Amino acid sequence: MKIAIVTETFLPSTDGVVTRLTQAVKYFRSLNHEVLVIAPDLGITEYEGAKVEGIKTITFPFYQYRKFSLPSKRIKELLDTFQPNIVHAANPALIAASAVRYAKKLDFPLLASYHTHIPKYLDYYKVYKPAKPILWSYIRRLHNTAELNLCTSETIRSELLEQDIHHLHVLQRGVDTKNRHPRYYDIEMRNRLTNGDKSKKLLIFVGRLAIEKEIHKIKPLLDARDDISLAIIGDGPAKNDLMNVFKDTNTIFTGFLHGEELSKAFASADAFIFPSVTETLGLVILEAMASGLPVVAAKSGPTIEQINDGETGLLFENENIGSLISAMNKLDDENVLQQMRKNARKETEKFSWEKASQQLLDFYTQTIKLHEDKNLVAK
């Protein structure tokens, strides 16, 4: 199969979308499928034998943390030259919106996937919030052009159905249980993340530092309990603001960590904290659990789907500091903590990127069939 994936984000960027796509590409190449990735030009030209075509990037004045590529006619040229059996538009908004347009124009089967809940993000940027209905209309038009749409959780599927987006299916979760594992526990890493204070319980957050991630909501917990250290791992546009918020607490900012260093950071903590209610899934939750960490998370549809409250983690009521403190207090019982660590690891062993990627490949085959049937009816 010749697969063209057009995405708004790819390597060397690190986020859940990139993780899912790189794992899928790796799996497709292992089965000898030909893969073309079209993405913002960030210097990557090849991945696991798949060609990566970069599109010229710009930086928006209001979001200078990362680079974007605008819709481009070059997408048409690349697709026409490659002649794919399937076009996958991942998170269509800018260049992936061009994939939607030109796949239709060139009569290629088209699948679209929804990974980032941008309309929800607008709630955190007051100046842009009035544009939410317009944004939903744009998203609806793009996704309803595709023969098949994918999203990452049942909660998001329900929201998209409410927005009149059709032909929706839910992608399986996946996690690298080999490289996210409790065996990566490292005393030097723990000392680094706690500033050498062995008496403190260590919480970690891993992700992009942006207002919609709601990291500031952790601060009252640290004010209430001085026996907790927090390590914030990642970078983003809200970093300086967050450093001011947490300046008088037991908090360190590491910037991005990668590879084995990130595996050590996960495995060397006591628990993972996830305050956001804006995620479509939050693959980082599974990474933490695979590392043997219970997840302390704000209640939302996607967190409820992934965390068994009291078994693999603890859920607290969003915007309720008493609920958060109560959840953390439960981890003071060492027996409870150790059992949750075991439960969390065991839960993730049922997931694999191979299964999730094979499911995506099956959706590609289904999309091709839908496209062929549609063309037969049209004739």
Kindly report the CATH number assigned to the domain that includes residue 328: 3.40.50.2000
Per the structure, the complete domain to which residue 202 belongs is given by 182-348
**Is the domain of 164 the same as that of 249?**
no
The CA angle 17-362-113, to the nearest 5 degrees, is: 30
The span from the CA of 135 to the CA of 113, in Å, is 16
CA distance 189 to 175: 22
Residue 214's nearest CA partner among 296, 121, 293 is: 121
Residues 18 and 133 in one domain: yes
Residues 194 and 144 in one domain: no
Collapsing DSSP to helix, strand or coil, 194 comes out as coil
Cα-flanking dihedrals φ and ψ of residue 305, to 5°? Answer: -65, -30
Residue (of 183, 186, 234) closest to 65 by Cα position: 234
Are the C-beta atoms of residues 229 and 254 closer than 8 Å to each other?
Answer: no
- Same-domain status, 40 and 135: yes
Q: Where are the alpha helices (DSSP H) in the chain?
A: 16-30, 74-82, 95-106, 118-121, 132-143, 154-162, 187-193, 219-224, 239-245, 259-267, 283-290, 301-306, 321-330, 334-348, 353-378
- Whole-angstrom Cα distance, residue 291 to residue 283? 13
Q: Is the pLDDT of residue 39 over 90?
A: yes
Same-domain status, 243 and 286: yes
Give the pLDDT confidence score for residue 128 in this predicted structure: 84
Q: Please, which pLDDT band fits residue 127 given cuts at 50, 70 and 90?
A: confident
DSSP state of 153: -
Range with lowest mean pLDDT among 76-80, 116-120, 158-162: 116-120
- How far, in Å, CA of 318 to CA of 328, rounded? 14
Give the pLDDT mean for 149-167: 97
pTM given for the model: 0.94
Are 214 and 76 within one domain?
no
Using DSSP's 3-state secondary structure scheme, residue 50 falls into: strand
Residues 367 and 311 in one domain: no
User: Is 325 found in the same domain as 278?
Assistant: yes
What gap in Å lies between CA 79 and CA 219, rounded to an integer? 48
pLDDT band at 60 (very low <50, low <70, confident <90, very high): confident
Task: Tell whether 144 and 11 lie within a shared domain.
Answer: yes
Q: What is the DSSP letter of 35?
A: E
Statement to judge: residues 38 and 169 lie in one domain: yes
Dmax of the chain from CA atoms? Answer: 73
The domain total for the chain is 2
Q: What's the rounded mean pLDDT across residues 66-86?
A: 97
Residues 6+ apart with CB under 8 A from 116: 17, 91, 280
Per-residue pLDDT band for 165 (boundaries 50, 70, 90) equals: very high
| Tokens at 51, concatenated | 């060609």
Answer yes or no: do 217 and 137 share one domain.
no
Length of the chain: 379
* Tokens representing residue 312 in the block: 């693999």
Which residue, chain included where needed, has tokens 């959840």? Answer: 327
Claim to verify: residue 149 and residue 186 sit in the same structural domain: no
Q: Over the stretch 217-231, which tens digit does the pLDDT of each residue have? A: 999 999 999 999 999
